[in-house]
Amino acid sequence: MATKRGTWDYREQFGEEFGRTYFRRFDPGVTSSIGIGTYLGAPTDNADEQYYRALVDAIESGVNHLDTAINYRCQRSERIVGDAIADAAIDRDAIVLATKGGFIPFDEEKPADPGGYISEEFIQNGAVDAAALARGCHALTPAFIDSMLDQSQTNLAVDYIDCYYIHNPETQLTVRSRTAVYDQLTAAFEQLERRRVAGDIGGYGVASWNAFRVPPSHDSYLSLPRVIACAETAADTVGVDDCGFMAVQLPFNIQMADAFTTTAHPDPERVDDATMQKDTIGVNQSQNQNQSISDTKVNTDNTTTQVSALRYAQERGINIIASATLAQGELTSEDAIPPAVDSKLSGETPAQRAINFTRSAPGVTTALVGTGSPEHVSENVTAGTFDPLGAQVFDAVFE
């Protein structure tokens, strides 16, 4: 597990090589503000080898935040992350390890009949109820999340995961109401609180794509205050003194800045409990699972100050882990960054400047960069030798 001593020793080992604020607080210690993501790539032996070399190089160069998910590359990403942690010349207690559960994973390769595979491997043996599935591949039941956490520990060859995310819970909004999804999250969080008490995880969070960076009228919207309230309720139910909700992962880059620009969550510094209740719970929707939610609206109070997901998380002390930092490679080319923004950013290459844009956003703890190629490790890590934008300069970009 990542420890205070282990991560601070890692900072002492590498800190002088980087710019200010490269290492940032992440309980129980610190983490690098550049992390390695493992989503992209084919489920092949060659891709495994490339990832392995990239991960080991990154860990041994000052990157101690590794992010994966059980469904990434048919479980191969988790297994390669585990191999890299075991083989790198850095102790496990210096590494922040995060993974996710929610999507049904394939094993090593995509089967010829995905639906048949899911039915045989998960539904028929009782691992997940067909009624719990959204889009035929996503479930949030406590038993399913529990089993996925177990499998992730096996894949990673670890007995402790520092941050475990519920993966894209907005997927469930395609078949059920917001109220039902909040109930699902509460139940899933209860199970994760139990696993935290048992010493299997350090904390948990939500990794989303759309949920927190769209307006309340959007089909995929989930209220960040309401989700955190679900976690607090779960902690109370389990009987722990502190809530284990520690991080939100969402996409943020120059092209996808909605998490900073879209004001969709009530300001925790200005809203009272009654307004929070009204604003975040939303409307009761029909439990008819075939009903579209596109015609429903979240009940909001026009007098309540709304803030972005980044601002809300920052004010509540919740870590933001930014995904899609390079927009899956689109921001690595010349002229991809608008000149007015590019001129303010530090870095020798477009990729480095794009990474530093994300690192500059308020509330962002770590910017994840998909690095499946060893050749890109040095370039990406070197981005951390440059200082991020100051708060006023960053804000001015959007004025």
- Which CATH number goes with the domain that contains 317? 3.20.20.100
CA distance 393 to 399: 10
Report if pTM > 0.75.
yes
* Closest alpha carbon to 195 in 235, 167, 138: 235
Domain count, the chain: 1
Q: What is the pLDDT of residues 230-283, one digit of tens each?
A: 999 999 999 999 999 999 999 999 999 999 999 999 988 775 544 444 444 443
**Length of the chain counted residue by residue:** 399
- The pLDDT assigned to 296 comes to 31
- The pLDDT assigned to 288 comes to 35
- The pLDDT assigned to 271 comes to 57
Q: Going by C-beta distance under 8 Å and a sequence separation of 6 or more, which residues neighbour residue 352?
A: 346, 379, 380, 382, 383, 386
- The pLDDT assigned to 303 comes to 52
Domain containing 340 equals: 4-397
Q: Going by C-beta distance under 8 Å and a sequence separation of 6 or more, which residues neighbour residue 126?
A: none
Q: How far apart are the first and last CA of the chain?
A: 42
Strand partners, 218: none
Residues of the chain with pLDDT under 50: 273-302
Q: Would you give the DSSP letter of residue 138?
A: B
CB 23 within 8 A of CB 31: yes
Q: Would you give the distance in Å from CA 361 to the centre of its chain?
A: 16
